[in-house]
Amino acid sequence: MKRIRSLTAAMALSLFALIISGCSEGDKAHIGAAGDAAARVYVAPGKYDEFYNFVSGGFSGQLAVYGLPSGRLFRVIPVFSVDPEKGWGFSEETKPMLNTSHGFIPWDDFHHPELSMSDGSPDGKWIFGNANNTPRVARIDLSDMRTKEIIELPNSSGNHSSPFTTENSEYVVAGTRFSLPVPNQDVSIASYKENFKGTISFIKVDKTTGAMDLSFQILVPGFDYDLAHAGKGPSHDWMFFSCYNSEQANTMLEANASQNDKDFIAAINWKKCEEYVAQGKGKKIDAKYAHNVFNDKTQMASSEIKNGVTILTPAECPGIIYYMPTPKSPHGCDVDPSGELIVGGGKLATVIPVMSYSKMIASIEAKKFDKEIDGIPVLNYKDCLAGEVKKPGLGPLHTEFDGKGNAYTSMFVSSEIVKWSLKDFKVLDRAPTYYSIGHLCIPGGDSKKPWGKYVIAYNKITKDRFLPTGPELTQSAQLYDISGEKMKLLLDFPTIGEPHYAQALPAELIQSKQVKVFQLKDNNHPYVTRSEKDCRVERKGNEVHIYATAIRSHFKPDNIEGVKVGDVVYWHITNLEQDWDVPHGFAVIGNNNSELLIMPGETLTLKWEPKYPGIHPFYCTDFCSALHQEMQGYVRVSAAGSNAPLTHN
Amino acid sequence: MKPLARLLVVLGALSPLLLFILPMWSIELEAPQYPPPYGLGMKIYINKIEGKKENDLGNINNLNHYIGMKRIEPDSIKELKIMPPLVIALSVIGLAAALIGKRKVVIGWLVIVAIAGCVGLYDFYQWEVDYGTNLDPHAIIKIEDMTYVPPLIGTKVLLNFTARSWPDTGFMVLGLGMALTVAACFMKPRVEPS
């Protein structure tokens, strides 16, 4: 009791100190921060944040879950990279999730999370993510925050304009950054213009299960397709992609792809594509890709190598795609809540171009085309322009919306967020970021109904913002209050990996549906052990299968003899707990593998090939109970060829 | 008895039957690791024992193994098999009393119910004592002179747990039924035509 009291006193004191320092030092201590920032991001112990913020981990390959406004990190969801802590990619159940047509890949580069949507608004069912390096799209279930499906994209490389979804998540799209020969083949790189093509993939998403299916690909000129966003409302049928390198350079793109004054925003009518596919206008070509699915019932993933994809060629399918010129080297491609305005982000442009959907349609109907590229009509920039934001800053990248008639654009080079009006395209406010902002996020900020309370900057450089940690520094996010006319910096918080895009939604949309335990009675894992009396050890040739259970505070069995050097041992461990937040861990000495972290009601399998005869201890790695340290056991390993019988207790 | 009084007795006589759908007693357990509303709890019916939440009973049993308490296995508790026919019998007798409509008979029924209730509570307490004191000598946690008998009514601290035991809705409804019956007994008898 005394300890609790002194703890409370210490907390109260430090809180007091925080408030005092916040007040007295003000701007000096927190460059750019509002004076009352501390109070506005303070979430009292035991209280909950208002928003979940899903932030891409970039080169970490994972997805991080933060709370807003506190900026506290809650969980890192393993997606494209192995995670030995959680056994992701190490357990037999999860290894297939990281399979590709190139075999097992332990890492990737995750850039863009995108929440599933119903009627243009996040519905809290799933969040999708892209693998940039070996092109894949993942689907993560928001009820247990686990990756449930990963689909590889053939004929693609540098899967950057992905995984943006249509208004009701009918499709998730994926465009190629690197164009390639389609199908890929051994050609001279200098034959780029002749042989290299881009593809835009449309992945159909099942409304109830979320199951993904690669529906079709559009073969497009060999530009670099960069970012995308779906139309909504009036522009429901359309998807917009920015693309650069219309020069089709294959070397030193830095200069060679920066020559044309205008590049393009590709407008794709996916409804029309569907019609052509239904009419059989697509051509099926060979294309190998992996499709990995985690089955909740069996708690196991499986990987299938599929073959064949339907290709639509614009020249043969008029009306599916148009190019809208946009100031040079665009990056972001964002659609406002009304679905009428399409905002480009020309990295090297001096303006922010705002294109009009209705003017685009009028141009298409009037057939006012400047030219054609490979059968794709090129519209006139001025004809489609709603307006330009003049002198916005340097290096505009991405734009999000607050739902109150304003847009917020990140400026990489001038390191700031610029707020501007969607009515007259006038700049209203600017706030510095520390430093070099990439993406930005407003909760629901790319949807029909943004929750325009905060904007979060995801910065590429932090320099002096945190205690230095050698040459490699944390990257960071910055939280700004946008409820008033002026943006107010409230908080810096470090992020995992490199944050690219992020999305946020009100906690109430998903908080109550979080899974607390997996029900043992619904566990249909082929190697489940539902009670201690079913524990057993079986030999099949040189394979040994250990059906074990874990419950506070013991494994059953915990003494096993008769394993031999040369055996392949599979530990199938079921956590018998049915209580919230009681995982058990498992590790065995000398295993060339990770640990297992087994949630209540879950079965996981760890493969172990013991190398030497002798006694091999194993133990629980998660402090599960007062007697966690007693949760241990031994395996006796005998020499290869010994006659030791297989026994257990 | 007047028709209204008889109706009250009928309601009183039927009230025990609600014990088949409403829990009679409730035990709640809270601890630092099991804060409200995520504490553990049991609902005790005349014919079954259930967790307040889906896995509560299993989790209580799992925790109890540390102190060497027997597992609470509803299937092996004889009271849960004996009580249902007794309760039905009480109702039948009550209905018969209503039919006879004599105040003395109804009072007799009330006395039977009261005795049955007392015996039931006594038995329940004995059951608690048995579980709370009849502990496995190989228990993981052994504290000299410590027993784990939950209170019959009220709150008691048992190691890190605070146990609360209270009559639940079934008991309340039964009580209401008895109150109606008592009220019926106080109503003026029908004036017999002379």
Residue tagged 């925080």 (tokens): A18
Predicted pLDDT at A247: 95
CB spacing of A578 vs B58 below 8 angstroms: yes
Are A37 and A30 in contact by the 8 Å Cβ rule? The answer is yes
Tokens of B60: 């209580």
Nearest to A378 by CA among A285, A262, A484: A262
Residue pLDDT, tens place only, A247-293: 999 999 999 999 999 999 999 999 999 999 999 999 999 999 999 99
Phi-psi sector, A329: left (phi>0), alpha (psi -120 to 50), beta: left
Give pLDDT, residue B70.
Answer: 93
Asked whether residue B191 is assigned to any structural domain, the reply reads: no
Report if residue B21 sits inside a domain: yes
Q: Which residue has the higher pLDDT, A348 or A238?
A: A238
Mean pLDDT value across residues A346-352: 90
d(CA A182, CA A192): 12
Q: Rounded to the nearest 5°, which phi and psi values hold at A345?
A: -130, 85
Query: Which percentage of chain A shows pLDDT scores above 90?
Result: 93
Sorted by where each starts, the structural domains of chain A and their CATH numbers stand as 51-513 (2.130.10.10), 520-648 (2.60.40.420)
Contact A551/B at CB under 8 A? yes
Which of B54, B55, B62 comes nearest A552 by C-beta?
B62
- The beta-carbon neighbor of A578 closest among B38, B59, B140 is B59
pLDDT single digits (tens) A556-582: 999 999 999 999 999 999 999 999 999
The proportion of chain A whose per-residue pLDDT surpasses 70, expressed as a percent, equals 95
pLDDT for the residue B69: 94
Q: Do A578 and B55 touch (CB under 8 A)?
A: yes
Mutate to test the interface with A, among B40, B55, B161 (most CBs of A within 10 A): B55
> Bridge-partner residues for A268, per DSSP?
A239, A321
Residue B192 lies in a domain: no
Q: Is B140 near chain A, with CB under 8 Å?
A: yes
Residue A334 contacts B where some CB pair is shorter than 8 Å? no
The domain tally of chain B equals 1
Give domain status of residue B194, yes or no.
no
**Whether ipTM exceeds 0.90:** no
Q: A115 or A1: whose pLDDT is higher? A: A115
For range A94-101, the mean pLDDT? 98
Backbone angles phi, psi at B185, to 5 degrees: -70, -30
Say if residue A198's pLDDT is above 50.
yes
φ and ψ of A312, to 5 deg: -105, 135
Q: Which candidate, A348, A344, A152, A166, places its Cα nearest to that of A266?
A: A344
Q: What is the pLDDT of residue B37?
A: 82
What's residue B191's pLDDT? Answer: 62
- What pLDDT was estimated at residue B192? 58
What is the span of the domain harbouring residue B124? 3-186
Distance from CA of B148 to the nearest CA of A (A): 19
Q: Please, what is the angle between helix B169-186 and helix B103-133, to 10°?
A: 160
Which of A578, A623, A628 is the best mutation test for B, with the most CBs of B within 10 A? Answer: A578
Mean pLDDT, residues B86-99 = 93
What would the two tokens of residue A300 be? Answer: 């196991």
Do the chains contact at A551 and B38, CB–CB below 8 Å? no
pLDDT tens digits, one per residue of B122-158: 999 999 999 999 999 999 999 888 889 999 999 999 9
Between helices B79-100 and B103-133, what is the axis angle to 10°? 170
Percentage of residues of chain B with pLDDT beyond 70: 97
CB B55 to CB A579 under 8 A? yes
Contacting residues of B for A578, CB less than 8 Å apart: 54-55, 58-59
List the structure tokens of B98.
């209503």
What is the pLDDT, as a whole number, of residue B190?
A: 65
Q: Which of A357-361, A410-414, A543-547, B120-124 has the lowest mean pLDDT?
A: B120-124
Structure tokens at A38: 């501390």
| A and B: number of Cβ contacts within 8 A | 18
CA distances from A276 to A167, A203, A231, A377 (A): 21, 16, 20, 18
Amino acid code (one letter) for B87: V
On whether the CB atoms of residues B27 and B105 are closer than 8 A, the answer is no
Residue B101 banded pLDDT, cuts 50, 70, 90? confident
Radius of gyration of chain A (CA): 27
* Whole-number Å distance between alpha carbons of A489 and A454: 10
In a domain, B47, yes or no: yes
Chain A residues in contact with B58 (beta carbon < 8 A) = 578
> A560 with A635: CB under 8 angstroms?
yes
Q: Is the pLDDT score of A11 beyond 60?
A: no
Question: CA angle, B141 as apex, B64 and B158 as ends, to 5°?
Answer: 60
Per residue in A298-346, pLDDT tens? 999 999 999 999 999 999 999 999 999 999 999 999 999 999 999 998 8
Q: What is the mean pLDDT of chain B?
A: 91
Task: Specify the length of chain A in residues.
Answer: 649
Are A183 and A199 within 8 A, CB to CB? Answer: no
Helix (H) or strand (E) holding A396: strand A396-401
Do the domain assignments include residue B122?
A: yes
Interval A588-605 mean pLDDT: 98
Q: How confident is the model at residue A20 (pLDDT cuts 50, 70, 90)?
A: very low
Whether B160 has its CB under 8 Å from any CB of chain A: the answer is no
